């Protein structure tokens, strides 16, 4: 069984669209940390383009999302000099439980993120890692994804190569369906959708067992239609569709 569709074409917005959004947030754009915010999200063109695409070119909604993300990053001092590192104590608690890692690049230079969930102890994660710790760790993880994209893309208006994610569900069973832990995970993952727009190029869930549908019913509730359209879920190994990417 395969659920999903091919990734939408990587999109670009015109310089005129980008300038209109920049003008809509002109007051904030004059702040001292704004240039560092723009650079972190890909540079002058890509930063604004992310919010335009995420809000279907609705200027008002794109501006609101951009300002909310700027406030989020200011609250966490993500664009401070020097950039903050994740608390080592949080890394020590969360890293051994986290099932994901960065795994190189696709042939056309999209960074690859690989998750293996078979050994994940959802209940243990919930009991050992407070939600605040998981949030801090996840933000650091997402900041790394921005850095990897910035390394392999040019901010010249050409199509941007976002993350390709592979989630291997081999070994997932009923022990993984711990609802409080899954709900905590869903809340944390929503940070990515809210404040790291258009970060994902394509996501594959492979080797999905029937029981995964119960977990997906919880986690997918925080994902919007555009994000869901980039996700393929299959009980197989991804086949040619996955190989076309990686």
pLDDT for position 17: 95
> In terms of residues, how long is the chain?
246
pLDDT bucket at 10, cuts 50 / 70 / 90 = low
Mean pLDDT along residues 130-137: 94
Residues 6+ apart with CB under 8 A from 169: 117, 118, 205, 206, 207, 208, 209, 212
Mean pLDDT, rounded, of the chain: 88
């Amino acid at each position: 069984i395969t659920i999903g569709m091919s990734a939408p074409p990587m999109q670009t917005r015109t310089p005129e669209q980008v300038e209109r959004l920049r003008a809509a947030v002109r007051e904030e754009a004059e702040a001292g940390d704004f240039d560092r915010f723009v650079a972190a999200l890909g540079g002058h063109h890509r930063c604004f383009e992310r919010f335009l695409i995420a809000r279907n070119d609705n200027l008002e909604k794109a501006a609101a999302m951009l300002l909310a993300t700027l406030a989020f990053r200011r609250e966490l001092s993500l664009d401070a000099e020097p950039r903050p590192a994740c608390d080592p104590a949080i890394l020590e608690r969360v890293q051994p439980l986290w099932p994901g890692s960065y795994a190189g690049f696709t042939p056309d230079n999209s960074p690859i993120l690989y998750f293996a969930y078979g050994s994940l102890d959802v209940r243990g994660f919930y009991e050992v890692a407070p939600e605040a710790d998981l949030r801090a760790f996840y933000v650091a993880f997402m900041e790394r994804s921005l850095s990897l994209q910035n390394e392999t893309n040019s901010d010249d208006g050409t199509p941007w190569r976002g993350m390709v994610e592979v989630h291997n569900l081999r070994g997932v069973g009923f022990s993984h369906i711990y609802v409080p832990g899954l709900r905590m995970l869903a809340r944390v993952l929503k940070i990515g959708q809210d404040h790291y727009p258009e970060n994902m190029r394509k996501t594959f869930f492979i080797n999905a067992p029937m029981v995964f549908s119960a977990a997906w019913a919880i986690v997918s509730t925080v994902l919007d239609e555009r994000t869901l359209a980039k996700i393929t879920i299959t009980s197989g190994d991804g086949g040619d569709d996955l190989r076309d990417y990686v």
